[in-house]
Amino acid sequence: MVTASRRSMEPGQIGSLPLPRCTANWELPEVILETMDILFRIRGGLDLAFQLNTADETSAKKAVKYVFSDLSTKLSSNVLVLRICHSSVYVWPNSSMNTVPSELTDNSVCKEIIRFIRFDQEDETKRKLAKKKDKKFQDTQQIVNVDLMLEMTSPLAAVAPVIERENKRHHYVNLTLPIDVVVSVSPEEPWRNVRNLLVNAIHKQLTDMERCILKYMKGTSIVVPEQFHFMLPGKKHLVTISYPTGISDNQLETYRKELHELFHLPSDRPYLRRANAYRFPDEPYKDGYLRNPHIYLNPPVIEAGMGDLEAFTDAIFGGGMLQSGRFFKGYHGGGILAHTILGVAWNEVTGHTKFLILDPHYTGAEDLHVILEKGWCGWKGPDFWSKDAYYNLCLPQRPKTI
């Protein structure tokens, strides 16, 4: 982010759009998956309930391992059921059974599942701002949301229940494991293979959650693992990490260092902090604030390609941009207004330039339509800047941390 300023500012928030600030939670840019793979996102809760005869950590860890083994056995049986959201399709992934057997066979390509889903109508803002051929919105239809369930009924004959009562003090543990699995598969992949991939991914996450619980439990106190998905450089698919709830990012720094080494990530960028987790298109931020209103803008009309801020700032200083972007030359000092530059597009030959500007003076509601249509965020040409004023260029530095 580059801030062009004509007055001194304190970092903070004006209205509901945040000004740049240097914090440890460096926010990754919005990413759109490059491939046209179908993303299966499986969510649900698995009950983890057991009792402890003794209140020591060793016994608790043995009990945790036992109950996870029991869950794994269940997930390998036909009690595991996957419901394709917004459809009438139920799948028993450990067998070839589903509720549309004649239309979805083991040999069907997995993209066939899309036609059973009734997608919600896009909201009014997206219909106004998006083109029908916009790739960002095509990709949202490649996400298949799936509910994870365990079948309670059994085809076996009913048996009389047996009730036992034991007069003894017990330490009872009861919690719900939040499953959130993402699997990326080719649209042409046979459904038989996809079923196996989905089950294997659920088992892998179960193992990750068990490891997380055993790593961070103290005595008989058990943390609940929470799943976060990350788009990492050099990776085509999302990477999922289990973090323990109730433990801060600062306390997890050592674990993140291990993960950075595992994924060959640089040690000066916080790729794996919770705040940098991937956000799915249909997943709003909990605080209700807009993060990236500019991703819904049409590309600027300019003869040459886009440039990133790093290359642009190099050009301002490595002297080339000072010559081709002539309106910047000699701008310094102070004034009365401030704007935030989110991006730059320029023609290296002609010097034609446009800036992606966010106006921090906006104080209205989180209304994407108003912000874009009224020009609070948009692509501006050189005439946007006053030629009889001097400008400061404030370049907030990205913190070097994990």
**Is residue 335 within 8 Å of 387, Cβ to Cβ?**
no
Over residues 173-202, mean pLDDT: 95
Pick the more confident residue, 176 or 387.
176
Q: Round the average pLDDT of the chain to a whole number and report it.
A: 79
Residue 40 has pLDDT above 60, yes or no: yes
Residue 158 has pLDDT above 90, yes or no: no
Distance CA 243, CA 227 (A): 6
pLDDT of residue 249: 94
| Least confident interval from 17-21, 217-221, 333-337 | 17-21
**Is residue 206 within 8 Å of 72, Cβ to Cβ?**
yes
Hey, what are 349's tokens? 């030959």
With H, G, I as helix, E, B as strand and everything else as coil, classify residue 275. Answer: helix
Distance CA 201, CA 30 (A): 25
pLDDT band, very low/low/confident/very high, at 15 (cuts 50, 70, 90)? very low
Selection from 216, 210, 165 nearest residue 63 by Cα: 210
Residue 347 has pLDDT above 90, yes or no: no
For residue 13, what are the β-bridge partners? Answer: 18
pLDDT band, very low/low/confident/very high, at 335 (cuts 50, 70, 90)? low
Over residues 367-392, mean pLDDT: 85
Pick the more confident residue, 37 or 123.
37
**Model-level pTM?**
0.73
Residue 26 has pLDDT above 80, yes or no: no
Residue type for 187, please? Answer: P
Residue 238 has pLDDT above 90, yes or no: yes
pLDDT of residue 313: 53
With H, G, I as helix, E, B as strand and everything else as coil, classify residue 27. Answer: coil
**Is residue 203 within 8 Å of 215, Cβ to Cβ?**
no
Rounded to 5°, the CA angle 368-353-312 comes to 90
pLDDT digits (tens, 9 = 90+) for 252-303: 999 999 999 999 999 999 999 998 999 887 777 778 888 888 888 888 876 5
pLDDT of residue 121: 53
